[in-house]
Amino acid sequence: MEAKENTQPGPGGEIWIPAGALYGPQTARAIENFPISGWPLPRRFLAALGYVKQAAAAAHKNAGRLEADLADAIIAAAAEVVRGELDGHFPVDVFQTGSGTSTNMNANEVIAGRACQILNRPADAVHPNDHVNMAQSSNDVIPTAMQVAAAVALHDELIPALRKLRDALQAKAQQFDHVVKIGRTHLMDAVPIRLGQEFSGYAAQIEASLAALQVAMSALCELPIGATAVGTGLNCPVGFAADVCLFLAEELRLPFCETANHFAAAGARDLAVQASGALRQTALAMGKIASDIRLMGSGPRCGLGELHVPTLQPGSSIMPGKVNPVLCESVIQVACQVVGCDAAVAAGATGGVGSILELNVAMTMIAWNLLTEIQLLSGVTQAFREKCVVGLEANEQRCRQLIEQSLAMITALAPKIGYDRAAEIARRAYASGLTIREVCRREAVLPEAELDDLLDAKKQTGA
């Protein structure tokens, strides 16, 4: 690759930069120093970073702190960052300096370089620090971009997907409300329940997750911009942070505002922890729902077989005709990954690890994991609803069969005949292979009409 030599002095000496690269020496040094994972910052993060740089330039232009032509070029270059047109110029690894200084300077250099091209001026006409980074620090820009990216992703992707999943589960709850099946606790037979009641519980779990995510999204909208290096706002003009937040709120249609306390916003990542916790709650709820559907659909002949799960693809390379609950398995794997990402976020926010005195130093790692959680859950939520939940059907014949065979049906007779006698009848039914109804009839435990009434499974579900 053709290269050009940059002789700008700095730590580490001279550094070579590929021809055509918009970035400068700080980015090149970061590429050299952090050949760790090959993972760049997520697309949504880079877009948010572009919005922050746009907002800053617009604020400075409106206040007369930045010449209009320079500001307009910075805004135009940052817009290209937002649209993803310059992603190839953002190669810095996630696992870098924990403040994200390398990524902030990557953005500053790329935007400055592109702005010079837009202006058709020399490469030093727009300065990465003096112009693009004016009144900012990596210590407030990176967490601001993280929170903007997460709030937008929640608002635009995950929350709408979860609402549709909740509605689909509620629709199944109504569709299955008449289907009575055996309940199970400890994976053992329990008293009857309606399949619709189970699905109403699933819908309620998603509704609770939505409530938690809404709270987290609102909290993320309180931005750290204006803190600069340590929360004091050094070199930040009065009103700058409010202007940036107003720009972001108007562009992204979310209620972004300046944080009430810049010291907490710079020194800790509590809002990321809160959001990640809500995402973990969502993942665990979806994992439980998918696990239940997978179990109820097990079979088709030798499992529970209470649900017909949509057939999507062959399930085995050796067993012809085998079909597996692949979407349920996808959800469960995503749930596991989200739990792992949440653990990384929590560790990164822990005092002595990431949050130390005036600055958290695990910000890019936290941002990557937080945004990965949202991306994974958004994708799997949509697929799970479209390809599994909406196509579920009840196997009513199997549900009736299992209810009649269940020894737990004796529970409804216990108030009439006593717990001990009921337990003895259940033991005899199990030993003989008979149903509870058959044993009670043989032994004339109760009059036939009363027995039938008490063993009415639907009445036992509170219907």
Task: List, by residue number, the catalytic residues.
Answer: 186, 316
> DSSP character for 302?
S
Q: Classify burial at 285, counting beta carbons within 10 Å of its beta carbon; exposed 0-12, middle 13-18, buried 19 or more.
A: buried
Q: Are 275 and 373 in contact (CB under 8 A)?
A: no
Going by the DSSP 8-state scheme, the letter that residue 42 receives in this structure is: P
- The candidate with the shortest Cα–Cα distance to 150, out of 78, 47, 260, 58, is 47
**Is the dihedral angle over the CA atoms 319, 324, 330, 333 positive or is it negative?**
negative
The structure tokens 């130390």 sit at 356
Residue for token pair 């790329």: 110
Asked whether the beta carbons of 389 and 172 are under 8 A apart, the reply is yes
DSSP secondary structure of 100-138: -HHHHHHHHHHHHHHHHHHHT--TTSS-IIIIITTT--H
Neighbours of 12 (CB within 10 A): 12
For residue 146, give Cα distances in angstroms to 102, 157, 217, 298, 344: 15, 16, 12, 42, 15
Q: Which two tokens stand for residue 173?
A: 């709850």
The vertex-374 CA angle with 369 and 380, nearest 5°, equals 120
| Number of helices (H), then strands (E), in the chain | 17, 10
H/E segment holding residue 222: strand 222-223
CA-nearest of 293, 279, 24 to 151 is 279
Rounded CA separation 155/153 (Å): 5
Reduce the DSSP state of residue 447 to 3 states and report it.
coil
Cα→Cα distances 251→79, 218, 247, Å: 12, 17, 6
- Give CA–CA dist 252/51, Å, rounded: 9
